[in-house]
Amino acid sequence: MDNEHEQQPAVEPKPQPGFWESRTGWSRLKQLLLLEPLPGGSRWTAAFGSLLLFAFTLQVITGILLTTCYAPSVETAWPSVKYIQEEVPLGGFIRALHHWGSSAMVILLLFHLIQVFVWGAYKKPREFTWMVGVLLLFCVLGLSFTGYLLPWDQKAYWATKVGLGIASTTPVIGDSIRSLLQGGPQMGNLTLTRFFTIHAFILPGLIIFLIVVHLYLFRLHGITPSWWESGAQLEAKQEPFWPRQAWKDGVFALVFLLGLGVWCYYQPAPLEAQADPSQPYEARPEWYFMFLFQLLRYFEGPYEIVGTFVLPTLFFLLLLFWPFLDRNPQLKPRKRPLALGLLSGGTIGLIGLTIYAIATDVRMREPAIAVVQPPVPTEPAGLLQRADVAKLYNANCAACHGVDGSGSQIRQGMPTIPDFTSLTWQMSQTDLEITHRIQDGNEPLMPAYRNKLGERQILALSIYTRAFAVGSGEALPPKPVPPPPGPVTAQMSPVQIYRAYCLACHDADGRGNTVRKAMPDMSDFTDPKWQASRKDEELLHSILEGKGKFMLPMKDKMGKADAEKMVAYVRAFQEGKQVVKLEPQPPVVPPAPEQPAIIPGPKTPSGPSPETAARMRVAASLYRQYCLICHGADGRGLELKASMPTIQDFTSRTWQEGVGNPQLAVSILDGKGTLMPAFRGRVGEEQAQDLVAYVRAFGPFRPATSEPPPGDFEKRFRELQDQWRELQRQLQELSAPPRKP
């Protein structure tokens, strides 16, 4: 070293060490780092190593930036990544740089490895440089594996699950390795924090250390001469790292950075739906692990371990100890047929497996469907039956549009809700308009069902919507719509929500006395002690997530903001200060158009007299108010069957046949068993009779009041069938060519 120093022409004459020099010795450092002579001079081919260093530095910088907004826990990981992606200025770009930068690094690593291999740069005395490099390669793969989990989206969750599964096939210690990485028996918070620690501290620290060793060894042995150059040629072309090699490295880095930047600008890093272990998912690793994924398909049963453990371990060991296995001292590629044969075979095999895996992977062909959208609910095979559609409607639409399609239940809160029974509305809508409205929603209140329902289901629902106008036959004066009182609010008011969902059990005064007999845990909202013992967050949680056996979760019925309002509303009952006024019953006004099969179940309408129809509508609204919460929209009571095994299935023939009308009315008025509360006082005797008729309508019989309908229904139904066929034709047209965004 000293000799070389003396031979070096004095680049910087050092008459007097200056202020900085005497205190830091920086020119000696500069001499060591930048001015060491490189035999053979600067060259473009030597720039790959520095480019890797640059790419790693970029990963470190973007990684540090990402940690400023990232919180590793099951509840916060995904929301915080989404926040980075969507809210933080430049957040999406920085995340894209980090995400795609990791892929770029893997490619660069392979390049570097192949280059070093072809040049024979691992041969004596550079064996350790190579081995440290192999360790670096595996550390980088470890980084990408651990980094993959951190966003905690579906892809992350499942890919990691499979990865950990692979780790657990290691003989003897496999399960321990998995538990150690997972931080416990299940994937969860501790997995995230551990992976985060490994990804952000342990592996980068290790990599920095290994890079220092790698660079030290590299400088110690100098650049590997190309096989066509002689020692004398190299000596003659000797020049320092600075500035020519630095320039070449810099140009490479600039091209890399610009390329990556442009790519990231147009291609944001993917973020799928939040991890949900209950959702089926086709797990796939990142593309550079796809060869392993493909490999595992060839080893089944007891041989699986060959693909998961034996081959990868052998590959790693072969790569690591390659310098000691290949003892051929030649550098010329022609004289190393075996080594280069292995290299090209391995590379082609690897690339081939990767391409083959990606090309033959069914899911990868249509990533838009499998990657972006949450899984579409399975549609029943064959034609959708009317009953299925009715169920679909009751489950998805009836909450707002009402079982009768009139939407009158919540028109006060949502004045713009359409009345499906109004002919005027029906005439103003084309079928396609309705379909699109269901598919894409209608701002601000109608949600999009694109991702919840299949296309056939949506088509069927639009036809079902049409069916609400079936019975009306000829043009009718549009139904008078009550003008919305007060300001136009986007949401239902708390009192409306309370009436719709809470009143049936908690009573108008919040005491819940009616059902206390059946539900001894029922809270008394007026009790100050109860009020004091519950925090707002607890109440909010109970409303949204349900509590105990009977309190149903309301999170699919109201948002957090509404639930917060309800907490305040519940608070207001304290000491009996608040009593909810019951919804005024609509007066019985004949004549009203008969509804189609929709009330209450999948029955065909049979045109009862106008007066009966009006009374049935009142009964329907009573049913919604008091009965629906337990007995369900379809009268089967499935939602509460688990906690109330004795709840009756109104659709069951045996039950309908085994119970008489007076008996039913008594049960409604005076309660039955321990669970059915008495509704006397809230429901009049006549209304109880109507409710009995309503309950009967769930059964396989028609109520006796019905008369055979005129042929009108038949005609209308045929029309609908034609429309159905037309819509199916449209659907086929839509789905025949791949849909464009």
Partner 1 sequence: MSEANDHRRRFMTYCTEILLAGLSLLVAIPAIGYLLAPLWKREGAEAGFIDMGRLADLPIGEWRLLALEMVHQDGWKKAKFRHSLWVRRKAASDQEVTVLSPICPHLGCPINWHPDRSQFVSPCHGGVFDAEGRYIAGPPPRSMDPIEFQVRAGRLLVRWQEFKIGVAQRVPVST
* Residues of this chain, 518-577, that bind partner 1 according to CB under 8 A: 536-537, 560, 564, 568
Is residue 150 involved in binding partner 1 (CB under 8 A)? no
Residue 619 CA to residue 627 CA, distance in Å, equals 11
The single residue among 13, 15, 89, 738 that binds partner 1, judged by CB under 8 A, is 89
Is residue 257 involved in binding partner 1 (CB under 8 A)? yes
* Residues of this chain, 198-227, that bind partner 1 according to CB under 8 A: none
Which phi and psi angles does 240 have, rounded to 5°? -75, 165
Question: Residue 37: in which H helix or E strand, if any?
Answer: strand 37-38
Least distance in angstroms from the C-beta of 30 to partner 1:
12
The single residue among 1, 6, 9, 741 that binds partner 1, judged by CB under 8 A, is 9
Q: Please, are residues 644 and 675 in contact by the beta-carbon 8 Å criterion?
A: yes
Is residue 52 involved in binding partner 1 (CB under 8 A)? no
Question: Residue 38: in which H helix or E strand, if any?
Answer: strand 37-38
Q: Interacting stretch for partner 1, rule CB under 8 A, among 215-223, 242-250, 279-287, 590-598?
A: 242-250
- Quick one: tokens of 728? 């199916």
Least distance in angstroms from the C-beta of 562 to partner 1:
13
Q: Interacting stretch for partner 1, rule CB under 8 A, among 159-167, 237-245, 311-319, 435-443?
A: 237-245
Is residue 76 involved in binding partner 1 (CB under 8 A)? yes
Which one, 71 or 162, has the nearer CB to partner 1?
71
Q: Interacting stretch for partner 1, rule CB under 8 A, among 107-115, 201-209, 254-262, 460-468?
A: 254-262
Least distance in angstroms from the C-beta of 581 to partner 1:
17
Is residue 495 involved in binding partner 1 (CB under 8 A)? no
Is residue 247 involved in binding partner 1 (CB under 8 A)? yes
The single residue among 17, 125, 205, 261 that binds partner 1, judged by CB under 8 A, is 261
DSSP secondary structure letters along 647-701: ---TT-HHHHHHS-HHHHHHHHHH-BTTTB---BTTB-HHHHHHHHHHHHTTSSS
Is residue 242 involved in binding partner 1 (CB under 8 A)? yes
Which one, 87 or 175, has the nearer CB to partner 1?
87
- Quick one: tokens of 217? 């060894």
Q: Please, are residues 626 and 386 in contact by the beta-carbon 8 Å criterion?
A: no
Is residue 149 involved in binding partner 1 (CB under 8 A)? no
Q: Interacting stretch for partner 1, rule CB under 8 A, among 83-91, 481-489, 621-629, 692-700?
A: 83-91
Hey, which residues does 38 pair with through a beta bridge? Answer: 239
Is residue 321 involved in binding partner 1 (CB under 8 A)? no
Is residue 88 involved in binding partner 1 (CB under 8 A)? yes
Is residue 605 involved in binding partner 1 (CB under 8 A)? no
Which phi and psi angles does 463 have, rounded to 5°? -70, -40
Q: Where are the alpha helices (DSSP H) in 487-609?
A: 494-497, 503-506, 528-533, 536-545, 560-571
Is residue 90 involved in binding partner 1 (CB under 8 A)? yes
Give the number of other CB atoms < 10 A from CB of residue 5: 12
Which one, 62 or 465, has the nearer CB to partner 1?
62
Is residue 61 involved in binding partner 1 (CB under 8 A)? yes
- DSSP, collapsed to helix, strand or coil, labels residue 401 as helix
Tell me how far CA of residue 716 lies from CA of 473, 713, 720, 726, in angstroms: 9, 5, 6, 15
Going residue by residue from 20 to 49, which x/- string records binding to partner 1, judged by CB under 8 A? ------------------------------
The single residue among 35, 93, 451, 588 that binds partner 1, judged by CB under 8 A, is 93
Least distance in angstroms from the C-beta of 61 to partner 1:
6
Which one, 60 or 731, has the nearer CB to partner 1?
60
- Find the angle CA(271)-CA(277)-CA(281) to the nearest 5 degrees: 65
Tell me how far CA of residue 662 lies from CA of 171, 523, 620, in angstroms: 72, 33, 19
Residue 682 CA to residue 184 CA, distance in Å, equals 54
* Residues of this chain, 644-683, that bind partner 1 according to CB under 8 A: none
Is residue 366 involved in binding partner 1 (CB under 8 A)? no
Is residue 331 involved in binding partner 1 (CB under 8 A)? no
Kindly give, in sequence order, each residue whose CB lies less than 8 Å from that of residue 559, ignoring residues fewer than 6 positions away.
none
Which one, 59 or 426, has the nearer CB to partner 1?
59
Q: Please, are residues 290 and 103 in contact by the beta-carbon 8 Å criterion?
A: no
Is residue 614 involved in binding partner 1 (CB under 8 A)? no
Q: Interacting stretch for partner 1, rule CB under 8 A, among 77-85, 180-188, 230-238, 666-674?
A: 77-85
Residue 204 CA to residue 67 CA, distance in Å, equals 14
Q: Please, are residues 694 and 614 in contact by the beta-carbon 8 Å criterion?
A: no
DSSP secondary structure letters along 258-277: HHHHHHHHHSPPP--SBP-T
Which one, 247 or 298, has the nearer CB to partner 1?
247
- Quick one: tokens of 390? 């009715």
Is residue 582 involved in binding partner 1 (CB under 8 A)? no
Q: Interacting stretch for partner 1, rule CB under 8 A, among 68-76, 269-277, 365-373, 500-508?
A: 68-76
Q: Which long-range contacts (CB under 8 A, 24 or more apart) does 194-201 make?
A: 195/72, 195/146, 195/149, 195/150, 195/160, 196/72, 196/146, 196/150, 198/142, 198/146, 199/143, 199/146, 199/147, 199/150, 200/63, 200/67
Q: Interacting stretch for partner 1, rule CB under 8 A, among 253-261, 347-355, 492-500, 670-678?
A: 253-261
Residue 276 CA to residue 405 CA, distance in Å, equals 34
Look-up of token digits 């289901």: 457
Q: Please, are residues 164 and 181 in contact by the beta-carbon 8 Å criterion?
A: yes
Applying CB under 8 A, what is the total number of residues that bind partner 1? 38
Is residue 79 involved in binding partner 1 (CB under 8 A)? yes
Q: By C-alpha distance, which of 64, 218, 198 is closest to 143?
A: 198
Q: By C-alpha distance, which of 262, 281, 265 is closest to 273?
A: 281
Is residue 59 involved in binding partner 1 (CB under 8 A)? no
Is residue 250 involved in binding partner 1 (CB under 8 A)? yes
Which one, 77 or 497, has the nearer CB to partner 1?
77
Q: Interacting stretch for partner 1, rule CB under 8 A, among 105-113, 255-263, 616-624, 718-726?
A: 255-263
Kindly give, in sequence order, each residue whose CB lies less than 8 Å from that of residue 411, ignoring residues fewer than 6 positions away.
417, 481, 482, 484
Residue 607 CA to residue 707 CA, distance in Å, equals 6
Least distance in angstroms from the C-beta of 696 to partner 1:
46
Three state DSSP letters for 225-247: CCCCCCHHHHHHCCEEHHHHHHH
Question: Residue 142: in which H helix or E strand, if any?
Answer: helix 127-149
Least distance in angstroms from the C-beta of 247 to partner 1:
4
The single residue among 58, 181, 203, 592 that binds partner 1, judged by CB under 8 A, is 58
Which one, 286 or 564, has the nearer CB to partner 1?
564
Which one, 251 or 314, has the nearer CB to partner 1?
251
Is residue 246 involved in binding partner 1 (CB under 8 A)? yes
Least distance in angstroms from the C-beta of 151 to partner 1:
12
Q: Interacting stretch for partner 1, rule CB under 8 A, among 57-65, 462-470, 473-481, 518-526?
A: 57-65
The single residue among 50, 59, 62, 595 that binds partner 1, judged by CB under 8 A, is 62
Sites of contact with partner 1 (CB under 8 A): 9, 58, 61-62, 65, 68-69, 71, 76, 79-80, 82-83, 87-91, 93-94, 97, 242-244, 246-247, 250-251, 253-254, 257-258, 261, 536-537, 560, 564, 568
